[in-house]
Amino acid sequence: MENPIVTPSELKTEEFVVNIGPQHPATHGVLRVEATLDGEIIKDVLPHLGYIHRGIEKMTESLGYKQSIFLTSRMDYLSAHINNHVCALAIEKAAQIEVPARAKAIRIIMDELQRLTSHELWWGSCAMDIGAVTPFFLAFRDRERILELFEQNTGNRLTMSYIIPGGVMNDVRPDFVPKLKALIKSIKEYRKEYDQLITGNFIFQHRTQGIGILSKEQAISLGCTGPTARASGLSCDIRKLYPYDGYEKLDFKEVIDYGCDNWARYVVRMEEMNQSIHIIEQLLDNLPTGDYRTKLKGVLKLPAGEYYQRVESARGELGVYIVSDGGAKPYRMKFRTPCYSNLGAVKPISVGMKIADLMANMATIDLVIPDMDR
């Protein structure tokens, strides 16, 4: 059979749809991204959710207030302490519970350690998405040390359920402060290694600089928060704007970059790790003594009404909205999770870029899929 000779002018081109996910290593979870391509150029990006929907918001309606806290650590499993914290704060606000000073300090230390683990893991996985494998192992090595500290003091490594209404579940161990001091010292050394390996890397810089531009206007209209929005020059740190649990007494900087690209988002997260270390150092030397929790009744009842509380999670603004009808179970509990809003930024920053940049864009936004689906 003869092959007909086709001249280039007769070749038809058409757009091609590629499904990335739901089982794809670059999405870090079960997210399906439907990318419409023209050759190598991205024309459209459509994320599909729902592969890991567990109905956490509905489940809280059949559980009590205390019990629903353990579910929140399953939302954003990389910042479980912060998820517990927002729920505890909302319940304390509604029931007007006083929290001891020691509990507040422990909560902030745990939150910032959690932010460190989250950013360390992000650093490793971001570098791996862009093509470097070594950082992933270094990141897991450093994260492991902090998780070990969590295991010794809270009992669990990933889903702690440690911060509860009225304080914290149990007191930290007597050797917590010296161990944390040694840990902070080693983390500071490792931070230099991160810069040596990736920040100064020529290939990494070229893969991120000027790619994935998210303007400040776009960030505001999409509802982006956290490091993603702060890299576009938007001041949105809840710890500074609406301080909670004594963040107002601490000295730290809100990291803002005006670069708007992937590189700016990288720089903001790296600097936030330094700020977290700085916050922990301030609290370590004068950790208040006394009670670590206020004893509450077995069954907690909130007065009827609506309550909203927000905190700064490792990925952005995390809010919880509780509607109570005066009973022992919430009438409605709605979570405003940062990843769901930040996911909206994937399309505007990726259209017009190459397909390989889509991975870099999704990596620097730092998406955690169970946080979107709940």
The binding site for another protein (CB under 8 A) comprises: 63, 66-68, 70-71, 134, 138, 141, 144-145, 148, 151-156, 159, 161, 164, 169-170, 173, 193, 196-198, 200-203, 298-299
Residue pair 260/215 in contact (Cβ under 8 Å)? The answer is: yes
Burial 122-131 (b: 16+ CB within 10 A, else e): bbbbbbbbbe
CA separation for the pair 142, 297 (Å, rounded): 39
Region of residue 5 (phi > 0: left; psi between -120 and 50: alpha; otherwise: beta): beta
**Is 246 strand, coil or helix?**
coil
Residue pair 292/103 in contact (Cβ under 8 Å)? The answer is: yes
Q: How far is the CB of 352 from another protein (least distance, A)?
A: 25
Which strands sit side by side in the sheet containing 305-312, from one edge to the other?
A: 305-312, 317-324, 332-336
Q: How far is the CB of 70 from another protein (least distance, A)?
A: 4
Residue 88 or residue 219: which is nearer to another protein going by CB?
88
Q: How far is the CB of 64 from another protein (least distance, A)?
A: 8
Burial 137-151 (b: 16+ CB within 10 A, else e): ebbeebbebbbebbe
Distances (CA, A) of 288 to 167, 276, 291: 13, 19, 9
Residue 148 or residue 217: which is nearer to another protein going by CB?
148
- H or E element that contains 17: strand 16-20
CA separation for the pair 304, 145 (Å, rounded): 43
Instruction: Write the burial class of residue 35 (CB in 10 Å: 0-12 exposed, 13-18 middle, 19+ buried).
Output: buried
Residue 74 or residue 315: which is nearer to another protein going by CB?
74
Half-sphere exposure of 372 (CA within 13 A, CB side): 22
